[in-house]
């Protein structure tokens, strides 16, 4: 087996201590408002259900580009994420905007299929116009110790994506067992060409957590110091409120620095988060909460 991994052991106590300290902090009003708008600009609005329809995707795209109709001076979200067969619908609905179209691929959410089918799945998304592809690693192969297989599969999908289409690699961290395995999976994905590493599909629990995200951020940092190459990060699943999302931003800033505080390099996979952020922005601006009924529930 090719040994292209550092075998770095994660300091579990250190990780949990840093997260604990960040979780106890608070932000001043101006900084909080700026942070909330930044969070909004980093969200990938997502619909990945069996009952997805053209109208549902169109409505999600409308929401992605019309948040400023509800509150002035708001940014659009970063992307809308859909299945490959819905990419064309999203592309048409988002034409002329700065919102990207992302698509899950590679037998999402299980990742349990042949490489041939995964490549076909990815090509369908790209042909239909996807700007970004969110792939799932083969966790069964990972748990069997077939790390080179996982590496080669990611590299093959990145080759299909090329330089134009950005590849987010989903580790499904809730199934990886411990911080050391999360670190190893992150290293495999990054070395294989991932543009982003992503915690979860959002289909199992636990999904994203602050400690898991910190382990992945530290892996990104070490790779950057070694190569000078920037890799993005996307925590996904379980981030439903603004307070928690702000803690993620603090974690990113203190671990990687301000360069990563941009939708180009950091995303939230959390559609339900958008409405809470909107409510918190109104609270910061007016001192009053709006009812949840004022915001579309997508």
- At 170-201, the pLDDT tens digits run 999 999 989 999 999 999 999 999 999 999 99
In terms of Cβ atoms closer than 10 Å to its own Cβ (0-12, 13-18, 19+), residue 152 is middle
Q: Which residues contact 128 (CB under 8 A, 6 or more apart)?
A: 84, 85, 87, 88, 91, 103
The pLDDT assigned to 284 comes to 83
Using pLDDT thresholds of 50, 70 and 90, give the confidence band for residue 66. confident
The pLDDT assigned to 71 comes to 76
Mean pLDDT, residues 61-83 = 88
3-state secondary structure 51-115: CCCHHHHHHHHHHHHCHHHHCCCCCCCCEEEECHHHHHHHHHHCCCCCCEEEEECCCCCCCCCCH
pLDDT for residue 141 is more than 90: yes
Handedness of CA 14, 18, 19, 21 (dihedral sign): positive
Q: What is 12-294's CATH superfamily?
A: Aldolase class I (3.20.20.70)
Q: Where are the chain's structural domains?
A: 12-294
Mean pLDDT, residues 65-81 = 86
Mean pLDDT, residues 144-151 = 94
The residue among 276, 218, 214 whose CA lies nearest residue 249 is 214
- Residues 29-40 pLDDT 10s: 788 999 999 999
Using pLDDT thresholds of 50, 70 and 90, give the confidence band for residue 5. low
Using pLDDT thresholds of 50, 70 and 90, give the confidence band for residue 121. very high
Q: Are 1 and 196 in contact (CB under 8 A)?
A: no
The pLDDT assigned to 283 comes to 84
The pLDDT assigned to 72 comes to 76
Using pLDDT thresholds of 50, 70 and 90, give the confidence band for residue 293. low
In terms of Cβ atoms closer than 10 Å to its own Cβ (0-12, 13-18, 19+), residue 95 is exposed
Mean pLDDT of the chain: 92
Using pLDDT thresholds of 50, 70 and 90, give the confidence band for residue 298. low
- Is the pTM here over 0.85, yes or no? yes
- Name the residues annotated as catalytic: 134, 198, 234
Using pLDDT thresholds of 50, 70 and 90, give the confidence band for residue 292. low
pLDDT for residue 4 is more than 60: no
């Amino acid at each position: 087996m090719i040994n292209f991994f550092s075998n770095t052991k994660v300091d579990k106590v250190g990780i949990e201590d840093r997260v604990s300290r960040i979780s106890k902090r608070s932000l001043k009003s101006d900084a909080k408002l700026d942070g909330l708008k930044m969070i909004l600009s980093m969200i990938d609005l997502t619909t990945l259900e069996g009952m997805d329809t053209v109208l549902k995707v169109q409505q999600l795209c409308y929401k992605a580009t019309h948040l400023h109709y509800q509150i002035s001076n708001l940014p659009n979200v970063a992307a809308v994420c859909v299945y490959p067969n819905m990419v064309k619908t999203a592309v048409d609905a988002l034409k002329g905007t700065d919102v990207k179209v992302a698509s899950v691929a590679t037998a999402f959410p299980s990742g349990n299929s042949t490489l041939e089918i995964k490549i076909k799945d990815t090509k369908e998304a790209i042909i239909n116009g996807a700007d970004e592809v969110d792939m799932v690693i083969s966790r069964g192969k990972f748990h069997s110790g077939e790390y080179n297989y996982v590496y080669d599969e990611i590299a093959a999908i990145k080759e299909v994506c090329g330089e134009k289409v950005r590849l987010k690699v989903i580790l499904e961290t809730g199934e990886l067992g411990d911080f050391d395995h999360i670190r190893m999976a992150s290293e495999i994905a990054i070395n294989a060409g991932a543009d982003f590493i992503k915690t979860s599909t959002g289909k199992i629990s636990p999904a994203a957590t602050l400690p898991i995200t910190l382990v992945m951020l530290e892996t990104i940092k070490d790779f950057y110091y070694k190569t000078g190459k920037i890799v993005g990060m996307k925590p996904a699943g379980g981030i439903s409120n603004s307070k928690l999302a702000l803690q993620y931003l603090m974690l990113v800033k203190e671990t990687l620095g301000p360069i990563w505080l941009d939708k180009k390099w950091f995303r939230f996979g959390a559609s339900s988060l958008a409405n809470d952020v909107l409510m918190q922005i109104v609270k910061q601006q007016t001192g009053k909460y709006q009812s949840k009924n004022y915001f579309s529930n997508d």
